[in-house]
Structure 1
Amino acid sequence: MTTFFAAVWASLPLASWLVLGVCALLIGFGKTALGGVALIAVVLAAQVLPTKDSTGVVLVMLLVGDLVATWTYRHDVDWRLIARLIPPVLVGIGLGALFLNWVDGPVLKRTMGAILLVLLVLGLWPDRLAAHRPSVGLAYGGLAGFTTMVANGGGPPMSLYLLARKYDKLRFLGTTAWFFFAVNLIKVPFSIANGIVRPDTAAVSLTLAPVVLLGTAIGRVAIRHIDQVLFDRLVTILVGVAAVYLLLG
């Protein structure tokens, strides 16, 4: 086992480990404070690893952050909403798994960016979005499943949906924490079958797990000092920045 981890550590240059360390910190922070930050981590990881490998590394780190977030916000969850969204999410994950077999890395990133920009524009008109309608929830659930499967990017669709439903920040965080914990667990067998999660990518993630936990601790402190209006604006801005970068990168 020691030899295996030594080989994993030696497989990446120091600069890549530093970038992945920043990703781990952002993922942890995003899980307990601002979820949009985690998508920045997805983008950064894709700069130092092949796209599919980075997806596997990020997925395991997300699961580490999920464990902390679900416990932290266990009393602030809309279980009915989660139950309604799981079926369309499963469909989206299945379609995303098929999509991964057909396209290369650049297409994945640009597809993600285009989807996020469309959702962001729709989110500017929450009344037109009619987030209370079941059909809208089904559509967002499917998109969240698809985007989380292809690039661990389900957070922005879910974020925009909950913003349109006017969730307060703690209910927002609690619902997304439990929702994506379930979604990420569902993704694991698909990711293993597609060669995204492998022993080597999991080893990289587990090596950085302490940094993820540090990020969750920082996020738990920071969220106390972010009011609701600022929280909503930051989530929207982070989605927009990530979408433009993916589309043009």
Structure 2
Amino acid sequence: MPDLSALAWTLMAFAALLVGISKTALPGSNTISVAIFAALLPAKESTGALLVLLIVGDAFAVWAYRKHADWQVLRRLVPTVVAGLVAGALFLALASDAGVRRVIGVILLLVIAMTLVRRYTTRKSGDRPISKRREHVQAGVYGTLGGFTTMVANAAGPVMSMYFLASRFSMKTFLGTAAWFYAVVNLVKVPFSVGLGLITEQTLLVNAVLVPAVVAGALAGRALVTKMNQTLFDRLIILLTVVGAVYLLF
């Protein structure tokens, strides 16, 4: 077990709670969890410790929103996400801890800016349907970045949240599509993470202590989402993404 202070364990429990909430109510809020784990553990080891907690949260999210996924969008993302995962694994094998954090921070800020500009231009052009070509371009850009960021720092949440916002998903479709996306992607990451030495006996001991906080967060998020409307949901997603990106960058 890592030799951490009581304050560090408290912060990690809070991060685990946010993992649960992010899975059933506020995708993107787990960027704060990424930041906390990276601050308390070596950046690369933190990704392995966090991955197992994310998979626990995924199970709750799939159970809660299994009927609301947009499977056409998920199929479109498959090849680009796989490419991003491979690129992320190669980057992890070569990059330093500081390099990992800064690259993810820059990517997230660029994705936020790109999404906000796209939402603004969409409002100006009205509610015209998105063209097929534009759908494939969006899937290519966001999918590749999502695969890369999830492999490197478990930080695909903000990237894919911006993609789902750009796709104009309703709140439940957003949560259902995200639930299945992360469930599959995080399971695919396990052999990569074991091979890179990111998941170890030590990180699994940390997981055993923190899993109850993930479960509590998932249940709390399920109750929270019933009290939110679409506008509040969209604004919170953007705000949480900005906060997480700025922390990782600086």
TM-score, normalised to structure 2, is 0.92
Q: Does 1:210 align with 2:250?
A: no
Consecutive unaligned residues of structure 1, counting only runs of 5 or more, are 1-7
Task: Pick one of 159, 179, 198 that aligns with 1:196.
Answer: 198
Q: Displacement, 1:247?
A: 1.0
Consecutive unaligned residues of structure 2, counting only runs of 5 or more, are 123-129
TM-score, normalised to structure 1, is 0.93
Task: Pick one of 27, 33, 58 that aligns with 2:50.
Answer: 58
Indicate conservation of the 8 Å contact 1:61/1:206, yes or no.
no
Give the residue type in structure 1 aligned to 2:242: G
Larger mean CA deviation between 119-128 and 15-24 belongs to: 119-128
Task: Pick one of 179, 183, 186 that aligns with 2:185.
Answer: 183
Give the residue type in structure 2 aligned to 1:155: G
Counterpart Cα distance in 2 of 1:204 and 1:51:
15
Counterpart Cα distance in 1 of 2:25 and 2:239:
14
Q: Which has the higher contact order (CA 8 A, sep 6+)?
A: 2
Name 1:3's counterpart in structure 2: none
Name 2:98's counterpart in structure 1: 106
Q: Does 1:77 align with 2:66?
A: no
SS class of match (1:195):
coil
Name 1:146's counterpart in structure 2: 148
Indicate conservation of the 8 Å contact 1:140/1:158, yes or no.
yes
Deviations 1:4-60 (A, max 9, x none): xxxx2x633322211110111000011000011111011011111111111111100
SS class of match (1:124):
helix
Name 1:236's counterpart in structure 2: 238
- The RMSD of aligned alpha carbons is 1.4
Deviations 1:84-118 (A, max 9, x none): 11111111011100000111111111111111111
Task: Pick one of 164, 167, 189 that aligns with 2:166.
Answer: 164
Name 1:37's counterpart in structure 2: 29
Name 1:23's counterpart in structure 2: 15
Task: Pick one of 227, 234, 238 that aligns with 2:229.
Answer: 227
Name 2:139's counterpart in structure 1: 137
SS class of match (2:226):
helix
Deviations 1:152-209 (A, max 9, x none): 0011111001101110111100100110110000100000011101121022112211
Q: What percentage of aligned pairs have identical amino acids?
A: 43
Give the residue type in structure 2 aligned to 1:57: A
Q: Displacement, 1:125?
A: 2.0
Larger mean CA deviation between 103-112 and 10-19 belongs to: 10-19
Counterpart Cα distance in 1 of 2:68 and 2:166:
18
Q: Displacement, 1:241?
A: 1.1
Counterpart Cα distance in 2 of 1:208 and 1:136:
36
